[in-house]
Amino acid sequence: MAATGTVTAFEIHDVRFPTSERLDGSDAMHPDPDYSAAYLVLHTAGGPRGHGLCFTLGRGNDVMAAAIRSLAPYLVGRPVPATAADLAALHRDLTHDSQLRWLGPEKGVMQMAAGAVLNAAWDLAARRAGLPVWEFLAAMTPEDLVSLVDFRYLSDALTPGEALALLRAAEPGRAARAARLKAEGYPAYTTSPGWLGYDDGKLVRLAKEAVADGFGQIKLKVGADLDDDKRRLRLARAAVGPGVRIAVDANQRWDVAEAVRWMTALAPYTPYWIEEPTSPDDVLGHAAVRSGQPVKVATGEHVANRVVFKQLLQAGAVDFVQIDAARVAGVNENLAILLLAAKYGVPVCPHAGGVGLCELVQHLAMFDYVAVSGSRDDRVIEYVDHLHEHFVHPVVIEHGRYRAPAAPGFSAEMHPASLAAHRYPDGPVWRARRTTEEALA
Amino acid sequence: MAATGTVTAFEIHDVRFPTSERLDGSDAMHPDPDYSAAYLVLHTAGGPRGHGLCFTLGRGNDVMAAAIRSLAPYLVGRPVPATAADLAALHRDLTHDSQLRWLGPEKGVMQMAAGAVLNAAWDLAARRAGLPVWEFLAAMTPEDLVSLVDFRYLSDALTPGEALALLRAAEPGRAARAARLKAEGYPAYTTSPGWLGYDDGKLVRLAKEAVADGFGQIKLKVGADLDDDKRRLRLARAAVGPGVRIAVDANQRWDVAEAVRWMTALAPYTPYWIEEPTSPDDVLGHAAVRSGQPVKVATGEHVANRVVFKQLLQAGAVDFVQIDAARVAGVNENLAILLLAAKYGVPVCPHAGGVGLCELVQHLAMFDYVAVSGSRDDRVIEYVDHLHEHFVHPVVIEHGRYRAPAAPGFSAEMHPASLAAHRYPDGPVWRARRTTEEALA
Q: Report whether the peptide linkage leading into residue A425 is cis, meaning its omega lies within 30 degrees of zero.
A: yes
Q: Is A100 exposed, middle or buried (0-12, 13-18, 19+ CB in 10 A)?
A: buried
Give the whole-angstrom CA distance, residue A170 versus residue A144: 15
DSSP H/E element including B13: strand B7-16
Q: Do B99 and A315 touch (CB under 8 A)?
A: no
Q: Do B155 and A257 touch (CB under 8 A)?
A: yes
ipTM of the prediction greater than 0.90, yes or no: yes
User: Which of B70, B108, B280 minimises the CB distance to A108?
Assistant: B108
Phi, psi values for residue B280, rounded to 5°:
-65, -15
Q: Residues near A150 by Cβ (< 8 Å), separated by ≥ 6? A: A91, A92, A95, A306, A332, A333, A336
- Spans of chain A below 70 pLDDT: 1-4
Per-residue pLDDT tens for B141-162?
999 999 999 999 999 999 999 9
Who has greater pLDDT, A27 or B408?
B408
Q: Do B257 and A155 touch (CB under 8 A)?
A: yes
Q: Do A100 and B155 touch (CB under 8 A)?
A: no
> What are the boundaries of each domain within chain A?
7-136, 172-417
All residues of chain B having their beta carbon less than 8 Å from the beta carbon of residue A110 are 60, 63, 108-109
Query: What's the gap in Å between the CA of A99 and the closest CA on chain B?
Result: 5
Phi, psi values for residue A201, rounded to 5°:
-60, -45
Give the whole-angstrom CA distance, residue B34 versus residue B20: 5
Report the SS3 class of residue B280.
Answer: coil
Please pick, among A13, A107, A286, A351, the residue that the annotation labels catalytic: A351
Residue B227 CA to chain centroid, in angstroms? 31
Query: What's the gap in Å between the CA of B123 and the closest CA on chain A?
Result: 23
Task: Render the burial of B58-83: b for 16+ CB within 10 Å, e for the rest.
Answer: bbbbbbbbbbbbbbbebbeeeebbee
Query: What's the gap in Å between the CA of A428 and the closest CA on chain B?
Result: 22
State the DSSP string of B349-407: -----TTTHHHHHHHHHHHIIIIIS---TT--EEE--SSGGGBSS---EETTEEPPP-S
pLDDT of residue B4: 59
What helix, strand, coil percent values describe chain B, rounded to 5? Answer: 45, 15, 40
- Architecture of the domain made up of B7-141: 2-Layer Sandwich (3.30)
Structural contact between residues A411 and A359, judged by C-beta atoms closer than 8 angstroms: yes
Kindly report which listed range (B1-10, B219-228, B236-245, B284-293) carries the lowest average pLDDT score: B1-10
All residues of chain A having their beta carbon less than 8 Å from the beta carbon of residue B100 are 57, 59-60
Does residue A415 have an active-site annotation?
Answer: no
Structural contact between residues A108 and B107, judged by C-beta atoms closer than 8 angstroms: yes
Cα dihedral A359, A188, A253, A235 sign: positive
Q: Report whether the peptide linkage leading into residue B425 is cis, meaning its omega lies within 30 degrees of zero.
A: yes
Q: What percent of chain B has pLDDT over 90?
A: 91
Best residue in A69, A281, A351 for a mutation probing chain B (most B CBs within 10 Å)? A281
Question: Of B36, B4, B1, which is closest to residue B17 (Cα–Cα)?
Answer: B36
Q: Report whether the peptide linkage leading into residue A48 is cis, meaning its omega lies within 30 degrees of zero.
A: no
All residues of chain B having their beta carbon less than 8 Å from the beta carbon of residue A35 are none
Pairing of strands A50-56, A320-321: unpaired
What helix, strand, coil percent values describe chain A, rounded to 5? Answer: 45, 15, 40
Per-residue pLDDT tens for B312-321?
999 999 999 9
Give the whole-angstrom CA distance, residue B284 versus residue B332: 26
Give the whole-angstrom CA distance, residue B70 versus residue B66: 6
| Edge-first strand listing for the sheet containing B7-16 | B7-16, B36-44, B50-56
Q: Is A5 exposed, middle or buried (0-12, 13-18, 19+ CB in 10 A)?
A: middle
Give the whole-angstrom CA distance, residue B160 versus residue B170: 16
DSSP H/E element including B55: strand B50-56
Strands (E) across A215-348 are located at 217-221, 245-249, 273-275, 296-299, 320-321
State the DSSP string of A114-132: HHHHHHHHHHHHHHHHTSB
pLDDT of residue A1: 41
Who has greater pLDDT, B193 or A40?
A40
Query: What's the gap in Å between the CA of B109 and the closest CA on chain A?
Result: 6
Please determine whether the domains at B7-141 and B172-417 fall in the same fold group of CATH: no
Q: Residues near B212 by Cβ (< 8 Å), separated by ≥ 6? A: none
Q: Report whether the peptide linkage leading into residue A105 is cis, meaning its omega lies within 30 degrees of zero.
A: yes
All residues of chain A having their beta carbon less than 8 Å from the beta carbon of residue B64 are 103
All residues of chain A having their beta carbon less than 8 Å from the beta carbon of residue B162 are none
- Architecture of the domain made up of A7-136: 2-Layer Sandwich (3.30)
Report the SS3 class of residue B48.
Answer: coil
Radius of gyration of chain A (CA): 21
Q: Do B64 and A154 touch (CB under 8 A)?
A: no
Name the CA dihedral angle for A333, A336, A341, A342, rounded to a multiple of 10 degrees: 140
DSSP H/E element including B40: strand B36-44
Give the whole-angstrom CA distance, residue A162 versus residue B434: 48
Name the CA dihedral angle for B112, B114, B116, B120, rounded to a multiple of 10 degrees: -170
Degrees, nearest 5: CA angle B39-B42-B46:
145
Give the whole-angstrom CA distance, residue B221 versus residue B229: 8
Structural contact between residues A150 and A95, judged by C-beta atoms closer than 8 angstroms: yes
> Would you place residue B21 in the very low, low, confident or very high pLDDT band (cuts 50, 70, 90)?
confident
- Cα–Cα distance list, A158 to A154, A281, A343, B6 (Å): 6, 21, 7, 55
User: Which of B29, B105, B305 minimises the CB distance to A302?
Assistant: B105
Pairing of strands B186-194, B245-249: unpaired
DSSP H/E element including B66: helix B61-70
Please pick, among A221, A286, A310, A343, the residue that the annotation labels catalytic: A221
Evaluate if residue B366 carries a pLDDT over 60: yes
- Centre a 10 Å sphere on the Cβ of residue A382 and count the other Cβ atoms it contains: 26
Per-residue pLDDT tens for B263-284?
999 999 999 999 999 999 999 9
In the chain, the amino acid numbered B83 is: T
Give the whole-angstrom CA distance, residue A300 versus residue A331: 15
**CATH number assigned to the domain covering A172-417:** 3.20.20.120
For the segment B63-82, the average pLDDT, to the nearest whole number, is 97
Task: Render the burial of A169-191: b for 16+ CB within 10 Å, e for the rest.
Answer: ebeeebeebbeebeeebbbbbbb
Q: Residues near A322 by Cβ (< 8 Å), separated by ≥ 6? A: A275, A298, A299, A300, A301, A348, A349, A350, A351, A382
Structural contact between residues B247 and B272, judged by C-beta atoms closer than 8 angstroms: yes
Structural contact between residues B100 and B112, judged by C-beta atoms closer than 8 angstroms: no
> Would you place residue B30 in the very low, low, confident or very high pLDDT band (cuts 50, 70, 90)?
confident
Give the whole-angstrom CA distance, residue A340 versus residue A306: 8
Give the whole-angstrom CA distance, residue A324 versus residue A334: 8
User: Which of A103, A112, A156 minimises the CB distance to B288?
Assistant: A156
Cα atoms found within 13 Å of the Cα of residue A318, Cβ hemisphere only: 32
pLDDT of residue B197: 84
Name the CA dihedral angle for B269, B378, B157, A307, rounded to a multiple of 10 degrees: -30
